[in-house]
Amino acid sequence: MTNKELEMKKVSIDSVGMNKKNPNVMDDYTMEKLKKNIKTVGYLEPAVVIPHKDGNKDYFIIDGEHRLMAMKDLGHKEALVVVAHGVDKAAAFSGAYTFNAIKGKIDSQRLGEMLKYGTQEFGLQMMKTYSQLEDWQLQEYLESQKLQEEQIKEKITEESEPQEIPDAIRKEFKELKTKISSKQTRVLMFSLDEKDYEFVNGVLGGVDKNPNKALVKMCNMVSE
C-alpha cells in the first residue's frame, strides 16, 4: 500500500462489505470490552476500506471489521473510515490476516512497568477505566512489578554486602599495620590494569617469592 492515496471520510456502516472469510475472530466477552473502550475513550482507530461496489455495498473492509460492528451495536449508523484508493481486492482480502498478524506482542514485564507508572501518574481508578483490565488483572500486574523490584533490591543488597576476608590476608594486613605503626615499614602503592598487574606480579614472583624483596632486588640490579 506504499504511495496509495488515502482519504478520510465518514460513511454508512451498512455500506461497507465485510470479509466473510476473516480469520480474526472475537468472542462476546472481548467484543463487550471493545464497545466499552469505544464508549470510554472514543472511536480513535478508524477502519480501513477500499472502494468496491458490490450490490448495495460501496466499500470492502481491509481492517477494523470488529470496530465497525461495535460502533453499529452502540447505535451509530455512520463511522469514520480511511479509504485506501488504488488497492485491489486481493490485497484487501488478505488484509484480514496481515493487519492482525503483523504486529508486536505484549511484554508482560513492560506492561507491568507501564501500569505502575500510569497508576502513580494518573491514579489507580483512571488506569482501571482506560486499560480495560479487570481489577484482578491490574492488581496481578502491579503485584508482579512490586515483586520484581523487591527481588532486584535483594540482589543488589546481597552483592553489596562485604565479603568475609580470609584469615591469612587478615593476618598479613595486621602485621603490615604493626610495622607501619612502628615506622619500620613504608607503603609504596601502584595502580595497574589487570593485564599489567599479572605481568608485574609474574616477574616479581620469578625473582623472589616475597614481592617486596623481589622489587628491592630488581631496583638494586638496575642501580648497579
Query: What would you measure as the largest C-alpha separation in the chain, in angstroms?
Result: 109
Strands 47-54 and 57-63, sheet pairing: antiparallel
Query: Helix (H, G, I), strand (E, B), or coil: what is residue 4?
Result: coil
Residue 163 to residue 142: CA distance in whole angstroms: 34
For residue 122, CA distances in Å to 41, 116, 145, 184 come to 15, 10, 17, 67
Question: Per-residue confidence at 128, pLDDT binned at 50, 70, 90?
Answer: confident
Residue 177 to residue 180: CA distance in whole angstroms: 5
Q: What is the pTM of this model?
A: 0.58
Is the pLDDT at 156 greater than 60, yes or no? no
Residue 216 to residue 206: CA distance in whole angstroms: 13
CATH says 5-101 is which class? alpha beta
Question: Per-residue confidence at 127, pLDDT binned at 50, 70, 90?
Answer: confident
Average pLDDT of the residues in 60-76: 95
Query: pLDDT digits over 167-198, tens only?
Result: 666 666 666 666 656 655 555 556 666 677 67
Q: Which of 34-38, 165-169, 196-200 has the lowest mean pLDDT?
A: 165-169
Is the pLDDT at 36 greater than 50, yes or no? yes
Phi and psi angles of residue 109, each rounded to the nearest 5 degrees, phi first: -65, -45
Is the pLDDT at 131 greater than 70, yes or no? yes
CA Rg value for the chain: 36
For cell 465497525, what's the residue?
68
Please give the order of strands across the beta sheet that includes 47-54: 5-12, 78-85, 47-54, 57-63, 16-17
Query: pLDDT digits over 39-57, tens only?
Result: 999 999 999 999 999 889 9
CA 27: distance to chain centroid? 28
The DSSP string of 182-207 is: TTS---------HHHHHHHHHHHHHH
Is the pLDDT at 15 greater than 80, yes or no? yes
